[in-house]
Structures are given as C-alpha cells and as structure tokens.
Structure 1
Amino acid sequence: MSISRPVHASTGATGYIGGDALYALVQKHPEYSYTLLVRSAEKAKLVQEQYPSARVVIGDLDNSSLLEKESAEADIVLHTADASDHAGAAKAIAAGLAKGHSKENPGYWLHTGGTGILTYADTDKNVFGEHSDKVYDDWDGVDELLNLPAHAFHRNVDEIVLETGAKQSEVVKTALVCPPTIYGRGRGPASQRGRQVYELARVTLELQKAPIIGAGKSIWNNIHVHDLSDLYVRLVEAAVEGRRKDDPELWGARAYYLTENGEHVWGELSRAIAKYAAELGLIGQSKAEQISLEDGKKFAGFESLSWGLNSRGKAKRAAKVLDWTPTRPSLEATLPEILEDEQRRLQK
C-alpha cells in the first residue's frame, strides 16, 4: 500500500519544531497536499504567505471536534503544537484517525513528546545541578521508556499515543518522537528560535554573566532542528510508501524515538556561552556564576529548571529503522549564531 497523493495534516506550523519540519517536508515533497491548523487569522496569513498552496484551517487544540474531523480526513498527522502536554488534543487526534481509517488504509500519527520526561528522578528528589550516570536507550532499553512513571513530565500524553499504537495498531500507525534541547535557526514562517539554550543566552546577555544552576554538573542531550526535521521527513516518507507498515519497531507501541546528536553539561555550556559572548564583545568579560533556582525562575521562568536537570538518552531506533544520522553543526559550534540572534532580539 502506498498513498499516491497524501494529505498531510500538521499542527504547529507557526512554531519552532513544526515550522521547520513543514519547511523540510514542502521543500522535498511539494506534491503532497498540506492541511495546516493555526490559532488565528493573523498566523494564518503568515503561513499562507510562505505556503500559498496549503489549506489553512483556523482553530486551536481545545477544539476537539475540529481536530477529530481533520485527523479523520488526513493520511498523516504531524502533531507538534504543544503536543507533549495537551491530552485533549491527543485524544481527538487518536479518535479521528481511528474513525477515518481502516486496516487496508491506516492513518499515521507522528507525535512530538519531549525528553523532559526523563527528568523525574531529579525532580522527585528536588535535586538540581548534580551529575547522573543514568542513560536511557530507545532500542535495547525501550521497555523502560514505555513504562516510565505516571507522574513523569509529559507521561499522561505519551500514554495516549502509546495506547493508541497498541490497541489500534491495525488502523492507526503511531511514532512518538522525543526531542531534547533543540538548537539552530528554524525555517518556518514565525518562530525560528529554540527555548532552553536561547533563554540561557538571553539571560547571559542581560546579566552580563552566564547563570549556572547548582553545581552545574547536570547533563542533557541536544539536536539541531534541521536534523530533527530530517527524521520527520523520513517518517512521513515511510508512511506515504506504506513501508513496513506492520513492523512493530517502526510503528506502534514500541516506536519511541529519542533524537540526539550528543549531550552537554549545563555548567560547561554556560561557561562556553560566556566565553563566546565576551569574544563577540556582547559582554564585558567571560564570566559564569551560580544563581539560585528562584532567581533562575525570575529570569527565564520554567526554562531555567532544565539548566539544573539530567535528561540523557541514546537515539538508536531512528538509525536502525530509518537510517537517520544527524549531520548538522554541534551545539557549541552554533553558540555564536545563537548569541548574535539573541542580541538582535534584545535590540528590537
């Protein structure tokens, strides 16, 4: 089975992840039909200017009936808009795909989670900035990822996707993509900026020193946004071609995809940001200092918590089943670009 002219429905077209994934898809497959869900007429205009042939639908994730209808009519749903934390939207997508598809013509759901789910051990102990040896694995250790504690961040939505992949496996083919810290300039029509490292860079420029949470020894994986988009493209192509649609390692209850191209130690990253900022003349001297978690929240809100947490994993699944290999520049190599972009934002 293959889809001759697939209808690709996407949420998050104006977001960082979804906008870049859509760009990569349209560049490689302009022949696909795209339906894009956006929240407002203002955002719809931005999307339509970049993708004039796309069908744009105005609505938000709380509009379950609209999500269900559009999912039923789509061959493939790429869900990136606040995907990891909106249970209602996940339920509506699952219901729509199940209603609109069959064993002969299954629907595909590419869902975006997040590796914040791996931080529960630190938050349970209320420990920030300490090293952890724990490394997850989406191939040999996938069963552990499939059975993370119910209270782990994002887990309630992950469970909806995984349950759909298990109980509706003949009708709905699922893939749960779990990115870590994302960096690199996005290519979408609106948001082209990541969060964790970008906020760290912004705060460094504002304070004239780089903040470190706790001892600065916690570790997190990272991935360039263009490499992440390449994985979405490979998954979409596999769906369109009907490639191994019954392969339990590619689709379904075990299809949990970590994505990473290495990892960073948060304290070392802060010191590197300070070094590059000083070299670029953006701060007076290369300086990184410990700040309290409370001050971190004042400066960067929720994002600052991640600077003190461990989230480590090995992305083996995508390499094994889709021959996906990240090729873009490393996070540290991209730091000057990130700092210059943040400086421009602060000057606006």
Structure 2
Amino acid sequence: MSKIFITGATGYIGGDSLATLVPKYPDFSYSALVRSPQKGEQVKAQYPSIRIVIGDLDDSKLLEKESAAADIVLRESTSPPRVYPLLNDANLIRTDTADASDHVGAAKAIISGLVSGHSKEKPGYLLHTGGTGILTWRDSDSNEYGNKSEHVYNDWEGVDELLNLPDHAFHRNVDQLVLEAGAKYADVLKTALVCPPTIYGQGRGPVSQRGRQVYELANVTLRLKKGPIIGAGKSIWNNVHVQDLSDVYLLLVEAAISRRNDQGLWGADAYYLTENGEHYWGELAVATAEAAAKLGYIPEAKAEPIDLESAKKYAGFESLSWGMNSRGQARRARNILGWKPSRPSIEDELPAILQGEWQRLQKSS
C-alpha cells in the first residue's frame, strides 16, 4: 500500500487531485496537512479514511516527519499558484499543496524528510506545483502590459531555457530547490515540477472549487458590467482544465508506484508545463462579457480598457496577469506520460464560471 502526503487538500488543485486519486486507489494511505480542525472536518466529510495532520507550512519539523514517512508527497497550493508579477521577490509522491509555490522553508523541510526517510532501494517521490507566473518575467522587467509576446517556451526540446530562467523570476527560488534536489539526490529522491497556467473548471475538492485569474475576470465583469481589458488586450496566457491537470498528478503517481524511471520522467530536467491551449486576455474579456449579457447578468456585451490601478482595486494582483504573457508548450507530459487533456475549453466553461461568480456576489450583497 502506498502512502501519499498532500498539503493542499483544502485547495482547488489539491482537492481536485484527491478526487482523481482516491476513487482509483482507495486502498492507499492518504495524509493531508490542514491548517485547522474545522477544515479537517470538511476534508474528512468527503474522505472519511484520510488522516488529518493539523499544521502549516511553517512547521518544518512536522513537514519533515510526514515527508519521511510518506512514499509520495504531492506538494500543491491551497489555491492555484498566485501571480504577483510586480513584486519580483526575487516520495512515492508527497503532496504539498498549501501555498507551496513560494514557501522556501516548507520546500527544504519536505526535501530533507524525503531524503532522510528513503533509500536507493525505496526512493521517495516529490510532485511539486509551481506556476507559469514564472514565465512573465520579461513583461515584469519591461513594465509593459497588454502587448503580445511571440516567445513560446517548451518543456521538452527547449527545457534548458526553463531550467535557466532568471533568478528573480516569480517562483524561481523554490523551483530551483526542487530541481537541484532532484539532481543531487537522484537515487533517493525522484522529483517532478508541475507548472500549471490559468486553471479553470469546476473543482471537485472538499473546500475550494474555484480558480483565480479567469474567475476574478468574471467577477469584475459582473461588478463593472463590462469586461476589463488591460492595455491593448493582446497578451496571451496558456490555460488548462483543473480535471485535466489532476490527470497529470494521477499519471505521475502511477509512474511512481510502477517504479518507472524513464529518461526525463524525474529529476533535474523533469519540468512539466501543463497547458491545453492559450487565450488572448482581451478576447477572453470580450467573450466573458458576451456570455454575461446572454445570461442576463449585465445589460450589454461590452468590454473596455481599464487601467492597472483600477483593476487592482477590484481583483488585486491577479488582475495584472490579464496584461502579461505566459506561453509554453506542454510536451513532456504528453510524450512521457501519455497525457491526453480532453475537458471543455475555457470559453465553453465561461457560462458556468459566471453563474458561480454571480451566486457568490448575491451571497455577499
């Protein structure tokens, strides 16, 4: 029986990953890091057999202990990876999903635990979740928003570029820790760095079932009664349905329990972009307004430019991503894992996203 430790069971990504893993592998031993007993009860209500570990990412000793005991650590965020481009601060499978993308202390503790608790004969596996906010560094450096970039990253033939992004790129400090550990402890620790873009679709987890970027776009559209466009609206971002993303974690878990060791599956270059298409933020704003008008939520299908400061007042730093470029090709998961994303497109999901945001606004009014 495999032991899986997950730190983001209450989050959008982690919760949906559990909804994929548990039905297929109900006999696995699952442990979940949860910040409060109340949240723990919500997780237990959906997954009665799961073991709740009360704590947070600052508790290094607890993380190290749980990681050492797990076969797999799934390390994800309680929500989709955040995008703060203006800040530039610069197992089998262990699941750590609670704000994991940027928590250096937690990454070090998890890696330490996995290394100390495993051996060449029985390696530990770490599935770490980053985010494609890391690819926005050029826009952030130039302080330009809303313009199109022709630069497209590639996690297969072009993986060296991803492995050598600037140190000040968002998420880069923790990504480096994971990649370096995968190289340094290759016999004992098998790592995979999963890098999702804009995530959408109904989550199936016990607590958070909502994404961020496109959900905030829908929310602001309803509040302003028009779609918000940053700059020229020409910036481009990849996207993926949350359930297609969960399939990547499932496939990595299955590769781990099968003890697969294909070249490029784990380790220093195991960088997994997870896209299934891309969108222009300006076009998505227009499509969101059209869908909102068709549903009767706003009087007309209108989308107009909004300045950055006003956008931030409505949606915080998430709104900055609407003016930035994050483009890549997810070839590694397709080539090595046979990943075949198949869920509805982001445009097809807009009515459901808007309905959910409309209900949220009604409850808060």
TMscore range, shorter length:
over 0.9
Residues 178-202 of structure 1: CA deviation (Å, up to 9, x unaligned): 0000000000000000000000000
CA-CA distance at 1:248 after TM superposition:
3.6
Say whether residues 1:286 and 2:301 are aligned partners.
yes
Pair 1:42 & 2:57 matched: no
How far 1:83 sits from its partner (Å)? 1.3
> What pairs with 1:126-141 in structure 2 (closer than 5 Å)?
126-141=143-158
CA contact (8 A) 1:248 1:254 kept: no
Q: Deviations over 1:93-144 (max 9, x none)?
A: 0000000000000000000000000000000000000000000000000000
Deviation for aligned residue 1:243:
1.4
Partner letter of residue 264 of structure 2? Answer: E
* 1:163 corresponds to 2:180: yes
**Any idea what the Cα deviations from partners look like across 1:4-52, whole Å, max 9, x if unmatched?**
x000000110000000001110011111110111000110010011111
Q: In structure 2, which of residues 265, 271, 274 is the aligned counterpart of residue 250 of structure 1?
A: 265
Secondary structure in 1 matching 2:239 = strand
Cα distance in 2, alignment partners of residues 267 and 151 from structure 1: 27
Q: Which residue of the partner structure matches residue 71 of structure 1?
A: 67
Deviations 1:218-259 (A, max 9, x none): 000000000000110010011011112xx3400001100000
List alignment gaps of at least 5 residues for structure 2: 77-97
* Matching residue of 2:86: none
Structure 2 matches for 1:3-152, cutoff 5 A? 5-80=1-76, 81-152=98-169
How far the C-alpha of 1:281 sits from its partner, in A, is 0.2
Shift of 1:325: 1.0
Amino acid at match of 1:275: E
Partner of 1:198: 215
- The answer to whether the 8 Å contact 1:9/1:71 transfers is yes
Could you tell me which of 311, 322, 337 is aligned with 1:322?
Answer: 337
CA contact (8 A) 1:184 1:225 kept: yes
Q: Residues of 2 paired with 1:166 and 1:191: CA distance? A: 34
Provide the rounded CA distance (Å) in 2 between the counterparts of 1:31 and 1:302.
Answer: 41
Letter in 1 for 2:68: A
Among candidates 191, 206, 214, match of residue 174 of structure 1: 191
What is the root-mean-square deviation of aligned Cα atoms in Å?
0.5
User: Percent identity at matched positions?
Assistant: 69
Partners in 2 of 1:261 and 1:320 — Cα distance?
A: 14
d(CA) in 1 for partners of 2:293 and 2:159? 42
Task: In structure 1, give the amino acid aligned to 2:154.
Answer: D
SS of residue matched to 1:332: coil
Pick aligned residue for 2:231 from 200, 214, 218: 214
SS in 1 for 2:57: coil
3-state SS in 2 of match to 1:333: coil
Q: What residue identity is the alignment partner of 1:307?
A: W
Q: Give the letter aligned to residue 150 of structure 1.
A: D
In structure 1, stretches of 5+ residues that fail to align are: none
What TM-score do the two structures reach when normalised by structure 1? 0.98
Matched to 2:290, the amino acid is K
Structure 1 residue corresponding to 2:287, chosen from 245, 249, 272:
272
Cα shift readout 1:33-74 (whole Å, capped 9, x = no counterpart): 101110001100100111111111000000010000000000
**Matched residue, 2:314:** 299
- Tell me what 2:355 maps to: 340
Take 1:273 and 1:123, find their aligned partners in 2: how far apart are those partners? 26
Dislocated runs of 4+, deviation >6 Å:
none
- State the distance in 2 between where 1:55 and 1:340 align: 34
Identify the match of residue 313 of structure 1 among 300, 307, 328.
328
SS at match of 1:311: coil
CA distance in 1 between partners of 2:292 and 2:15 (Å): 28
One-letter code aligned to 2:12 = Y
Give the number of aligned pairs: 342
